Amino acid sequence: MSVLVDSDTRVVVQGITGGEGRFHTEQMIEYGTNVVAGAVPGRGGQEVEGVPVYDTVAGATREEDANAAVVFVPPAFAADALFEALDAPLDLVVAITEGIPTQDMSRVYRRLQETDTHLIGPNCPGIITPGETKLGILPGNIFASGNVGLVSRSGTLTYQIVDNLTQRGIGQSTAVGIGGDPIIGTDFIGTLALFEEDPDTDVIVMCGEIGGEDEENAAAYIDEHVETPVVGFIAGRTAPPGKRMGHAGAIVSGSGTGTAKSKIEALGDAGVPVGTTPDDVAEHVETLL
Amino acid sequence: MKLHEYQAKDVFAEAGIPTPESELARTVDEAVEIADDIGYPVAIKAQVHVGGRGKAGGIKLVDDSEEAREAADAILGMDLKGYTVKSVLVEEAVDFVDELYVGVTMDRGVGRPVAMVSTRGGVNIEEVADEDPDAIAREHIDPAFGMHDFQARKAVYDAGIDREVAGDVASILTTLYDLWEERDGADAEINPLMVTADDEVVAADAVFNIDGDALFRQPDLAEMEEKAAGDELEAKANEYGFEGANYVRLDGSVGIIGNGAGLVMTTLDLVDHYGGSPANFLDIGGGAKAERVANALDLVFSDENVDAVVFNIFGGITRGDEVANGINEALAQFDEIPKPVIVRLAGTNAEEGMEILNTDLVQVEATLEDAVQAAVEAATEVNA
């Protein structure tokens, strides 16, 4: 078992003819992902890595029965691609694209509320159920199949913590990179709810960072609704206020909201141990299994 | 991307928002000439991207030519929180009876824009929001429809704006929202929005920050960008393409280079955890090639506070062999390596990278924790 994706997931890659789309399609297929179609306007009838390309997402769902999309479309056209994916409709849309204008995402998010689709991202590494499938750009070789669910706002930090887990012989049920942008689809709470329902996820690792209040809200949700043990990690303890750290969302505002301290305290109050280093997180998980 | 006050006022005025008469000056003579033309009293206002200009001495009210000359002379060239003032806005001083606040921003928590109005203008609105949140009327906007006229009226009446000016303030809020939406605003603010004795409403200050990710479709605004670098290092970072949030200078002694914001932040935190202090945040991003890696190392070497450098790469899109080539390339130009470099490579092509890496020049560590500890020790030794 796993959340959102497994070996039955049938993937359409939007932007499959671009450099990144092509490369990661190859990587996904190599990992075992069931990539059934590509969608690129004007490229219908072509093939990429043996995968048939359609002009529209609707064509890909109609002809190949795709139920999930991975989006590698450049930022200027990404919102339109997301509206198209939501219109198909699909069960799951994973938006890898970094740099989508925030107002575009606000409109996409508004449309998302009218659908039953799960949107992961944008500006995220994707989602992986080790040994079965991956949708996105995560390096498959560091993951191992197991029973720890992982949800994170950051890509490479996810890899780091997964590596620490795998090195200790701890595998993962599903790892979800929800993305570092100010407006994202499925957030911590949405992902925690899925893991809580999953009988094969025994421990959840939640990996947050400075900025916004998502971690605080997630802590309150854990306190009320999550029985599965959770281990936390917060990046940006040493970030000074008012300085954005890489991600558009990663900033401690002048009035002091979004600090690592407030997030760590909120998680602590919800009974969630917060690791001081990535390996410390893995150690906490080990004791809980 | 931040616009200067004078740029924001130009954009606001063009959209029909009343602003005081003003003109930009780059020299003291220009400033006095403009002030004489406008007629006294006038305000002389530093044009720099820092908050709290007034308190820091960057805004002066003057009553005649002599005072204008003194003020312009004091402000032009002054250092305001690390930024040199290169221009001043010379502006008609508005005789006001009231100071209001109007603003539009994205409420990331709900994923929707929010329009805000308050009678508590002229002060730091974030402090008002903390101390007395009810003093700011907020109206969330459905991005599919934009702001309805009734929402502007509702925000204005909820905020308790006087009836005499309520219509004008609502109309300014509507204009501000439309601008924010059309021009891909991140934050649009008028603080204070001054009310005169004759019930005229005037934007005495203007903030307009643009979503940097949307500049591709706002070419005229993109042209207004002044990459105000706080110091030489930030200027160099801009030159190398480590713009905005990808390079942040701090005041410690351990230089940090990595890929991905979360992992670089974590590396900073670990430096602190092991008793060191981070000199910078530098995210080389995904898929960096050798040249970018070399530039990153050169940038961090240029920081005289840096005593040791930790290079932490976990390859997903980024490839270990490219990183190793970049490090070798950067170090090849030195007869003697200026500062100890500790490298940790993991993920995609890490093994290939390890083979390429010239280990005579750098220290290699297998884990993040070991690499950071080694860098902290190296920096401490230099200082001992």
In a domain? residue A131: no
Per-residue pLDDT, averaged over A169-178, amounts to 97
Q: Do B143 and A180 touch (CB under 8 A)?
A: no
Q: Quick check: B53 and B59 in contact, CB under 8 A? A: yes
The Cα–Cα gap between A263 and A233 comes to 10
What is the predicted pLDDT for the residue at B161? 97
Question: From the candidates B136, B253, B265, B277, which should be mutated to test the interface with A, based on the most A CB atoms within 10 A?
Answer: B265
Best mutation target among A77, A97, A160, A166 (most B Cβ atoms within 10 Å) is A160
Distance CA A190, CA B127 (A): 32
> Tokens 């919102």 identify what position?
A79
Last residue of a domain, one of A123, A156, A178: A123
Contact criterion met (CB < 8 Å) for A250 and B265: yes
- Domain-located, residue A110: yes
Packed helices B368-383 and A278-288: angle between N→C axes, nearest 10 degrees: 140
- The residue behind tokens 């008028």 is B190
- Can you tell me the mean pLDDT for B363-367? 92
State the angle between helix axes of A155-167 and A278-288 in degrees (0 to 180), rounded to the nearest 10.
50
Question: Given this model, what pLDDT does residue A251 score?
Answer: 64
B211 contacts in chain A (CB < 8 Å): 101-103
For residue B230, what pLDDT is reported? 61
Q: Do A104 and A24 belong to one domain? A: yes
| Long-range contacts of B130-137, Cβ-Cβ distance < 8 Å, separation of 24 or more | B130/A255, B130/A256, B136/B101
Inter-chain residue contact A159 with B346, CB threshold 8 Å: yes
* Structure confidence by residue, pLDDT tens digits, A136-163: 999 999 999 999 999 999 889 999 999 9
Residue B274 clears pLDDT 70, i.e. is over it:
yes
Length of chain B: 384
- A254, pLDDT greater than 60: no
The beta-carbon neighbor of B245 closest among A158, A245, A253 is A245
pLDDT at residue A255 greater than cutoff 60: no
Residue A253: the pLDDT is 58
Pick the last residue of a domain from A123, A153, A168: A123
At B210, give phi and psi (nearest 5°): -105, 145
DSSP string, B181-196: HHTTEEEEEEEEEEEE
> What CATH number is attached to the domain comprising A106?
3.40.50.720
Question: CA B47, CA B206: separation in Å to the nearest integer?
Answer: 12
Indicate the pLDDT class of residue A39, thresholds 50, 70 and 90: very high
List CB contacts (< 8 A) between B184 and chain A. Answer: 101, 103
Gap between the Cα atoms of A29 and A51, Å rounded: 10
Q: Residue A142: its chain B contacts at CB < 8 A?
A: 347
Residues A84 and A199 in one domain: no
For residue A230, being part of any structural domain is answered with: yes
> Which residues does chain B have within 8 Å of residue A248's beta carbon, measured at their own beta carbons?
213, 245
Contact residues on chain A for B263, CB-CB shorter than 8 A: 154, 156-157, 159-160, 235
Kindly state whether residues A241 and A110 are assigned to the same domain.
no
Measured in angstroms, the CA of A178 and the nearest CA of chain B are apart by 13
pTM of this structure: 0.92
Residue of B nearest to A251 (CA): B245
In a domain, A134, yes or no: no
pLDDT at B384: 65
Q: Name the nearest CA neighbour of B85 among B49, B43, B31, B34.
A: B49
Tell whether A277 is covered by a domain: yes
Q: Taking CA atoms, what residue in A is nearest to B144?
A: A107
Domain tally for chain A?
Answer: 2
**Residue for token pair 């713009």:** B243
Q: Are strands B112-118 and B96-107 parallel, antiparallel or unpaired?
A: antiparallel
Q: Judge if A146 and A105 occupy the same domain.
A: no
Omega of the bond leading into B278 within 30 degrees of 0 (cis): no
Strands B96-107 and B88-92: unpaired
A171 located within any domain: yes
Residue A78 sits in the same domain as residue A11? yes
CB pair distance less than 8 Å for B245 and A246: yes
A109 and A143 together in one domain: no
Of the residues B189, B234, B322, B365, only one is catalytic, namely: B189
Q: What is the pLDDT of residues B17-76, one digit of tens each?
A: 999 999 999 999 999 999 999 999 999 999 998 878 888 899 999 999 999 999 999 999
Range scoring the smallest mean pLDDT among A11-25, A247-261, B166-180, B310-324: A247-261
CA distance A257 to A235: 15
What's the pLDDT score for residue A276?
94
Point out which residues pair with A120 in neighbouring strands.
Answer: A94
Asked if A64 and A198 sit in the same domain, the reply is: no
Contact flag B281-A246 (C-beta cutoff 8 Å): yes
Give the tens place of pLDDT for each residue, B190-249: 999 999 999 999 999 999 999 999 999 999 999 998 766 567 788 888 888 887 678 988
Beta bridge partners of B310: B256, B342
Determine whether B240 is an active site residue: no
Q: Is cis: bond before B41, omega within 30 of 0? A: yes
Which chain A residues have a beta carbon less than 8 Å from that of B214?
101-104
Distance between CA atoms of residues A207 and B328, nearest Å: 33
Contact criterion met (CB < 8 Å) for B106 and A139: no
Q: Is there a contact between A154 and B261 if contact means CB atoms under 8 Å apart?
A: yes
Q: Let me know whether A145 and A250 are in one domain.
A: yes
> How confident is the prediction for chain B on average, in pLDDT?
92
Q: Are residues A113 and A155 in the same domain?
A: no
Quick one: which of B116, B186, B121, B118 has its CA closest to B147? B116
* Cα dihedral B62, B65, B67, B70 sign: positive
Answer for the pair B60, B80: CB distance below 8 angstroms, yes or no: no
The answer to whether B189 is a known catalytic residue is: yes
The H-assigned helical ranges of chain A are 19-31, 57-64, 75-87, 102-112, 155-167, 188-197, 214-225, 260-269, 278-288
The residue in chain B having the minimum alpha-carbon distance to the alpha carbon of residue A215 is B109
Residue A41 has pLDDT above 70, yes or no: yes
Cβ-based neighbours of A71, under 8 Å, separated by 6 or more: A14, A15, A78, A81, A82, A85, A93, A94, A95, A96, A97, A121, A122
Q: What pLDDT was estimated at residue A52?
A: 98
- B287 → chain A, closest CA residue: A20
Distance from CA of A208 to the nearest CA of B (A): 8
Kindly state the percentage of chain B with pLDDT values over 70.
98
Cβ atoms of residues B225 and B137 within 8 Å: no
Which candidate, B179, B196, B197, places its Cα nearest to that of B188?
B179
Q: Which residues of A touch B259 (CB under 8 A)?
A: 156
ipTM: 0.91
Query: Which domains does chain B show, CATH number per domain?
Result: 18-92 (3.30.1490.20), 96-223 (3.30.470.20), 232-383 (3.40.50.261)
Confidence of residue B288 (pLDDT cuts 50, 70, 90): confident
Residues of A in contact with B113 (CB under 8 A): 103, 106
Task: Look at the block and give the residue holding tokens 């490090």.
Answer: B327
d(CA A12, CA A53) in angstroms, rounded, equals: 9
**Residue of higher predicted confidence among A165 and B125:** A165
For residue A146, the distance in angstroms to the closest alpha carbon of chain B comes to 20
DSSP H stretches of helix in B228-260: 232-239
What is the crossing angle of helices A75-87 and A57-64, to 10°? 40
Does residue A99 sit in the same domain as residue A234? no
Q: What is the pLDDT of residue B108?
A: 87
The range of the structural domain enclosing residue A272 comes to 139-289
Phi-psi group of A147: left, alpha or beta (phi > 0 → left; psi -120 to 50 → alpha; rest → beta): alpha
Q: Do the chains contact at A209 and B262, CB–CB below 8 Å? A: yes
pLDDT, tens digit (0-9, with 9 covering 90-100), for A183-227: 999 999 999 999 999 999 999 999 999 988 899 999 999 999 999
pLDDT band at A1 (very low <50, low <70, confident <90, very high): low
Is B213 within 8 Å of A182 when comparing Cβ atoms?
A: no
Question: Which residue in this structure is represented by tokens 């740029």?
Answer: B7
Determine the Cα–Cα distance for residues A12 and A71; give it in Å rounded to an integer.
9
List the CATH number of the domain containing A177: 3.40.50.261
pLDDT for B202 equals 98
Q: Is A63 helix (H, G, I), strand (E, B) or coil?
A: helix
Residue B138 has pLDDT above 70, yes or no: yes
Are residue A58 and residue A156 in the same domain, yes or no?
Answer: no
Inter-chain residue contact A236 with B283, CB threshold 8 Å: no
Chain B residues touching residue A238 (CB < 8 angstroms): 250, 265, 268-269, 271-272, 278
Residue A107 lies inside a defined structural domain of this protein = yes
Q: Is residue A172 part of a domain?
A: yes
pLDDT at B290: 83
pLDDT band at B368, cuts 50/70/90? very high
Tell whether the model's pLDDT for residue A247 goes beyond 70: no
Tell me the average pLDDT across A168-182. Answer: 95
Q: Which residue in the set A233, A247, A255 is minimally distant from B129, CB to CB?
A: A255
Q: Do A109 and B258 lie within an 8 Å CB cutoff?
A: no
Q: Which of A23, A30, A80, A103 to mutate to test the interface with B (most CBs of B within 10 A)?
A: A103
In terms of Cα–Cα distance, which of A201, A189, A200 is closest to A225?
A189
Question: Is B245 close to A236, i.e. CB distance below 8 A?
Answer: no
Q: How far apart (Å, rounded) are the C-alpha atoms in residues B172 and B37?
A: 28
Contact A238/B246, CB-based, under 8 Å? Answer: no
**How does pLDDT run across B236-251, given as a tens digit for each residue?**
888 888 876 789 889 8
Question: Could you tell me if A219 and A279 lie in one domain?
Answer: yes
**Residues B252, B305: contact at Cβ < 8 Å?**
yes
pLDDT top residue among B285 and A284: A284
pLDDT band at B331; cut points 50, 70, 90: confident
Residue after which a domain boundary falls, among A123, A155, A183? A123
With CA atoms as reference, the chain B residue closest to A152 would be B262
